[in-house]
Amino acid sequence: MSSRDLDSAARTDPALADPELRAAFEECRRLHAEHGKTYYLATLLLPPAKRPYVWALYGFARYADEFVDSLTDPDPDALVAWGDAFLQGLAGTGPTDPVGRAMAATMRRWDIPVEHVEAFLASMRRDITDTGYATYEDLRGYMYGSAAVIGLQMLPVLEPVAPGAEEPARALGEAFQMSNFVRDVGEDLERGRVYLPAEDLEAFGVTREDLLAGRRARSTPRAVRELLAFEVERTRAVYARAEPGIAMVHPTSRDCLRTAFELYGGILGAVERAGYDVLWRRVSVPLPRRLAVALPALGRAQLARRREARWRQLPA
């Protein structure tokens, strides 16, 4: 499948005739399929010619994130060196590593501003030293680079058809990341971080020590459940701000975006169904639910692509 997708993209992007660049995109596809299964499933609803660029955006973000988020072999110094080399490559002859090459090609094809990438790398560097955020607004400052700009990077690929699509794209990036923060509280504790704002912990009478004790004891105190319920509802409000953006992108992109919206939003429901017991286990959206969302969307996406093809064939 990936070869056909790359062939489709190469029809409008001759750079993808280069075997080395195709191999770079394939490496990003592998990262995406292995580490971002929900998002990868949604990507299959895009026109084939757009899929490789989404692999590159995801692969770049995942590759950078692993330098600081690996539970077994974190390497913050390598993040700094790799990020600097990528930005220097953009300003010169181009990045040399596969993930960087695919990302640079994607930025050229879709005119993605380098400022978005700089903001992303700056937030990744914050993970080297920052272990928490005092307020929700402080956390949003971090999420601008780590999540909101990912939505902004995706937007050109999805092809906005209405003004004002940027703000919903930013909100959707935040909503996705907040869903991850709620789901991954326990894993993040292992990395020495708490992404839930300190002001929220204080409001519900929860301390970091309470979270760590609950993880060790495999139990969730009532105050922690109430805190997580609050975060779930606040994140749903962010999804509500993002939802109008689905209708603002090209018809052939909407089913991909809607599917990602519903499946990532479904993480919050999975947390609720688990009784907020996320301190010692990782919940997920069940496969039957993922298929129930994705399969009907696949039919709609194929219909949208056929309509687009017929429209393009109409005489001027």
pLDDT in tens, 168-178: 999 999 999 99
Q: Which of 160, 147, 157 minimizes the C-alpha distance to 51?
A: 157
Q: Are residues 115 and 9 in the same domain?
A: yes
Could you give the CA distance from residue 210 to residue 224 in angstroms, rounded to a whole number? Answer: 8
Sign of torsion, CA 24 173 256 234?
Answer: positive
Taking every pair of Cα atoms in the chain, the longest distance, rounded to a whole number of angstroms, is 69
Read off the CATH number of the domain in which 58 is found.
1.10.600.10
| Residue percentage of the chain with pLDDT more than 70 | 97
* 144/269 same-domain check: yes
Query: Does position 304 have pLDDT exceeding 80, yes or no?
Result: no
In DSSP terms, 132 is beta-bridged to 194
Q: Do 217 and 232 belong together in one domain?
A: yes
Residues 82 and 165 both lie in one domain: no
Please check whether residues 98 and 188 belong to one and the same domain.
no
Pair 150, 109 in one domain: no
Q: How far is CA 189 from CA 132, 221, 225, in A?
A: 10, 16, 16
- Let me know whether 316 and 183 are in one domain: yes
One domain, residues 51 and 118: yes
Q: Domain boundary residue among 129, 146, 181? A: 129
Q: Is the pLDDT of residue 253 over 70?
A: yes
Q: Among the three residues 95, 129, 163, which one is the final residue of a domain in this structure?
A: 129
Residues spanned by the domain of 115: 1-129
**Total count of domains within the chain:** 2
pLDDT of residue 299: 81
Q: What is the pLDDT of residue 316?
A: 41
Q: Is there a single domain that holds both residue 112 and residue 177?
A: no
pLDDT digits (tens, 9 = 90+) for 36-49: 888 888 889 999 99
Q: How many CB atoms lie within 10 A of CB 283?
A: 20
Residues 184 and 55: their CA atoms lie apart, in Å, by 23
Give yes or no for residue 166 having a pLDDT over 80.
yes
192 and 293 assigned to the same domain: yes
Which residue among 129, 158, 181 closes a domain? 129
Write b or e for each residue in 227-239: b if 16 or more Cβ atoms lie within 10 A of its Cβ, otherwise e.
bbeebbeebeebb
Q: What is the mean pLDDT of the chain?
A: 93
Residues 120 and 46 in one domain: yes
Lowest mean pLDDT among 77-91, 120-134, 162-176, 297-311: 297-311
Answer yes or no: do 92 and 149 share one domain: no
Percent of the chain with pLDDT over 90: 82
